Structure 1
Amino acid sequence: MEVESRAKMEKTHTKPKNAWENFFKDKTHGGHRYSSEEFLAMEAREKLFHLDGGKTLLDFGCGSAELLTYYALEYEQLLGVDFSPSMLGEASKRIRERKCNNIDLILADHEILWENLDSTFDRITAAGVIQYLSFQEIDAFIAKASEHLNSDGKMVFFDILDPRLYPLWKLGVFAPNAGLLKALYRMSCDFQNSILAALKNRPRNIYGFTHNPYKIQKIANKHGFEMRYIQSMYYEYKYHAIMFRT
């Protein structure tokens, strides 16, 4: 496995950091529900089912490679991309430990990534990342990604926050001990966190923005993709967007 040197990474990533890049710059783990290998393996199996084959894969927002190293068992060559140096540092360690010699890593965001690519892929995916992009940025991402996707390839955005279900999750509706008092407590905590975030000029939380699946579908159709969406198996307030060319 060949990881680009830190100097080269930083050289290709000179654009000023946005709020999310600052938020994640020192993080070392993704936002998985559980960090156990047993859970990560189950989550990866679900995602591999929807990726459904191919030989080459680009994983945008790969984080610390918690899923990427499981994908490596099914693909010949993989490229992991993230805008957090600390995440990629952890990813590099995990890749070495698991001897995944078919994975390369690049430090880049959704804008400069495409400048560093000279190949195409059978699958382009992003898990728990699209909620940090605006609809305009998603539009641009799909347009650029389509230029690096093989003709029979597939693009899959995993775990997008569903605006119809996310508010219910925040209120604790899906929790085993759901109830009115629990909901009021969560509302109080969310309000306090919002105030603190505004005072410190940082994002409200790690989860990002909600995106209606029909709006994502409209963008996909605009760029020549059919799209279907399904609910995430392990996150009841998220959905997957699966795109393929018509």
Structure 2
Amino acid sequence: MFGENEKNLSKQKDFWIEFFAGRRDGGHRSSAEEFLSMEAREKLFHLDGGKTLLDFGCGAGELLVYYAPEYEKMIGVDFSASMLDEASKRIRERKCRNISLIQADDKTVWNKLECSFDRITAAGVIQYLTLQEIDNFIFNASSCLNKGGKIVLFDILDPRLYPLWKIGLFSQDASFWNILRKIGFEFKVVLAASLNNRPRDILGFAHNPNAIKKVADKYSFETTFVKSMYYEYKYHAIIEQTKG
């Protein structure tokens, strides 16, 4: 049973790798620069300073270039070559000379780093990791974190709110019949995914805040959870070294 579960998770990972292989945008709610600027400001507020930053899963660099004026040195990491190609173009256009890019995933990135960081962040990425992979990520990140540093995991799917968002409960045109139609649509999606051995949800796994907290507690971190300002079905986890 355990082996079958591992096999299914491996198939899901392969699907997501293929899905993102040729992507050139980070999947933000809007690609308008005005929106990206506002989203970046919210995230900078929670990052709350530091001089060096590692942005894991930086995608096309939409937020990375807005972080740049606030940091002396930044490294953006993504496994997708096409995403990094777009990020490189953005960095050149904005003349951000304090940003370097690395192609790696959550397992290989740590051996490619040559320094430690005041802030390690990931936005819209944790949903593609299992809880055990999140555990490994926090453990590895902790060894690359400067004293007084923070790990900030942005935009984690909230299992309490995400299903409601999917059926349109937060939509401006929410009605009984619209919600019913969306429930039917989601049922078909789940059924088709099961029959084709694909992930039930292209957006990945929803993780309960308590599960994230248990992992952070394990490595003696303090965790604060904050609701996402621009994605009503997501939350942020601010993971800090314990004081004293």
Question: Structure 1 residue 197 and structure 2 residue 193: aligned?
Answer: yes
Question: Structure 1 residue 79 and structure 2 residue 75: aligned?
Answer: yes
Say which SS state the counterpart of residue 89 (structure 1) adopts.
helix
What is residue 229 of structure 1 aligned with on the other side? 225
What is residue 109 of structure 1 aligned with on the other side? 105
Corresponding residue to 1:24 among 2, 8, 20: 20
Question: Structure 1 residue 49 and structure 2 residue 45: aligned?
Answer: yes
Counterpart residue type for residue 51 of structure 2: K
TM score, norm. by length of structure 2: 0.91
Equivalent residues of 1:23, 1:202 under 8 A apart: no
Q: Compare 196-205 and 162-171 and name the one that shifted more.
A: 196-205
CA shift for structure 1 position 177: 0.9
What is residue 164 of structure 1 aligned with on the other side? 160
Residue identity (%) = 63
Q: Aligned partners of 1:88, 1:186: CA distance in 2, in Å?
A: 35
CA deviations on 1:126-182 (whole Å, 9 max, x unpaired) are 000001001100000000000000011011000000000001101111111111111
Q: Name the count of aligned residue pairs.
A: 230
TM score, norm. by length of structure 1: 0.90
Q: Aligned partners of 1:196, 1:89: CA distance in 2, in Å?
A: 33
Question: Structure 1 residue 138 and structure 2 residue 134: aligned?
Answer: yes
What is residue 209 of structure 2 aligned with on the other side? 213
What is residue 58 of structure 1 aligned with on the other side? 54
Say which SS state the counterpart of residue 70 (structure 2) adopts.
coil
Long gaps (5+) in structure 1: 1-16
Counterpart residue type for residue 94 of structure 1: R
Instruction: Pick the structure with more helix per residue.
Output: 2
CA shift for structure 1 position 119: 0.6
Question: Structure 1 residue 177 and structure 2 residue 173: aligned?
Answer: yes
Q: Aligned partners of 1:172, 1:96: CA distance in 2, in Å?
A: 39
CA shift for structure 1 position 222: 0.5
CA shift for structure 1 position 199: 4.6
Q: Aligned partners of 1:205, 1:94: CA distance in 2, in Å?
A: 30
Counterpart residue type for residue 133 of structure 2: E
CA shift for structure 1 position 101: 1.0
Say which SS state the counterpart of residue 152 (structure 1) adopts.
strand
RMSD: 1.2
Q: Aligned partners of 1:56, 1:38: CA distance in 2, in Å?
A: 25
Corresponding residue to 1:186 among 182, 187, 192: 182
Q: Aligned partners of 1:206, 1:49: CA distance in 2, in Å?
A: 29
CA shift for structure 1 position 60: 0.4
Counterpart residue type for residue 148 of structure 1: C
CA shift for structure 1 position 206: 3.2
Alignment of 1:230-245 (within 5 A): 230-245=226-241
CA deviations on 1:38-72 (whole Å, 9 max, x unpaired) are 00000000000000000000000000000000000
CA shift for structure 1 position 185: 1.4
Equivalent residues of 1:23, 1:203 under 8 A apart: no
